[in-house]
Amino acid sequence: MGADELVINMGPQHPSTHGVLRVKLKLDGERVIGSECVIGYLHRGVEKIAENRTYQQFAPYVDRMDYVAAVSSGLGYCEAVEKLLMVEAPPRARVIRTILTELQRIASHLLWLGTHALDIGALTPLFYCFREREEILKIFEKYCGARLTTHAFRIGGLQYEAYDTLEKDVERFCKDFESRIVEYETLLTQNRIWIGRTKGVGVLTAEDAIAFGVTGPVLRASGVKWDIRKAMPYAAYDQYKFEIPVGTTGDTYDRYLVRMEEMRQSRLICLQAIENIPSGPILAKVGKVLKPPPGEVYHAIEAPKGEIGYYIVSDGTVMPYRVHIRPPSFINLQAFDRMVRGHLVADVVAIIGTIDIVLGEVDR
């Protein structure tokens, strides 16, 4: 380390490291010449816990990983175990799962937008985003009683039947939400300062993104059109029409635009889905005790933050032999160093925000 290099510790108690991320920044003046992420402050050993719980018992634990997108994590786990059991959720359950997961995507993106804007210094969008997110959480609460760690789905389908006014609630939310997105965009999209702070910041080329294994909006903003909802449809996504927004340059501004468009598309998916919810059972015949045949399975879904994958090995007992989780936040965070190098301290927080990490998921 030279005499004019400054090492500062950002976090784990820094206001904008989104939880307990600790970043060691090597600075030359205000310019970042190197960085190192120190993680693990929120490690709970989720994967190890899985080995000592039955398949059903472990389901609520996955909600605690990405706690701002619990529904999506739950969907991935349930579908993975269903694949292992070789059962399929009934059509009605699949459609309701799709609706709730898309609402969760909007909620997660709203939280991202609010905190990202706050990091860059815009105080107000946070409150507007939380206002809309509140509506979504209310729908979750009505559906399953919980707002954050919902545990909304069960292996084989759903535990709860959709409540009577679910369609109406979702429809009303989607109607309001259209103009609300426009509101956020008037505050930010054309704002000179916003553009100045995000354009050309944290550029990740398509080759780099693929090499790092980055997924989700971060990958798509780099121009790679990869979305598991289209590539390997799960739940009921093959029934709906939607676009996959992609960026061109892979900078922070592109990632912002991609996520904004994703919220619009999620809204469209919800509107399509509530139009025709098939009737029928909501839970496949899976039995009370789950004993999947010995074997292994990998199942991934497109969570708001990227590909969340579950690799489950069964030894034929009621408890999984091994569960490995591929959390999108953890893998996307690996590109952080490449993205911040050469930028200023102020850009570091913008880049942490734009990767959209949740430390509960990074550390597990």
Q: Point out which residues bind another protein (CB under 8 A).
A: 6, 8, 14-16, 30, 117-124, 126-128, 131, 187-188, 191, 193-194, 196-197, 200, 203, 342, 344-349
Shortest CB 157 distance to another protein, Å:
38
Shortest CB 14 distance to another protein, Å:
6
Instruction: State the pairing for strand pair 306-314/295-303.
Output: antiparallel
Contacts of 65 (CB under 8 A, 6+ apart): 46, 73, 325, 327, 358, 360, 361, 364
- The total of other beta-carbon atoms located within 10 Å of residue 342's CB is 10
Residue with tokens 């880049």: 351
Q: For another protein, which is the closer residue by CB, 55 or 194?
A: 194
Q: For another protein, which is the closer residue by CB, 194 or 240?
A: 194
Q: For another protein, which is the closer residue by CB, 15 or 294?
A: 15
Q: For another protein, which is the closer residue by CB, 146 or 345?
A: 345
Shortest CB 208 distance to another protein, Å:
9
Shortest CB 344 distance to another protein, Å:
6
Residue with tokens 């139009």: 275
Contacts of 358 (CB under 8 A, 6+ apart): 18, 19, 65, 66, 67, 68, 69, 305, 329
Shortest CB 149 distance to another protein, Å:
25
Q: For another protein, which is the closer residue by CB, 302 or 347?
A: 347
Strands of the chain (E only): list them.
6-10, 22-28, 31-38, 153-154, 157-158, 295-303, 306-314, 322-326
Shortest CB 156 distance to another protein, Å:
41
Shortest CB 168 distance to another protein, Å:
24
Work out the burial of residue 73: count CB atoms within 10 Å of its CB; fewer than 13 is exposed, 13-18 middle, 19 or more buried.
buried
88 to 64, 158, 348: CA distances (angstroms): 25, 12, 44
245 neighbors 258 (Cβ within 8 angstroms) = yes
Q: For another protein, which is the closer residue by CB, 153 or 194?
A: 194
Contacts of 207 (CB under 8 A, 6+ apart): none
Q: For another protein, which is the closer residue by CB, 25 or 219?
A: 25
**How many Å apart are CA 339 and CA 336, to the nearest integer?**
5
| Bond before 125 cis per omega within 30 degrees | no
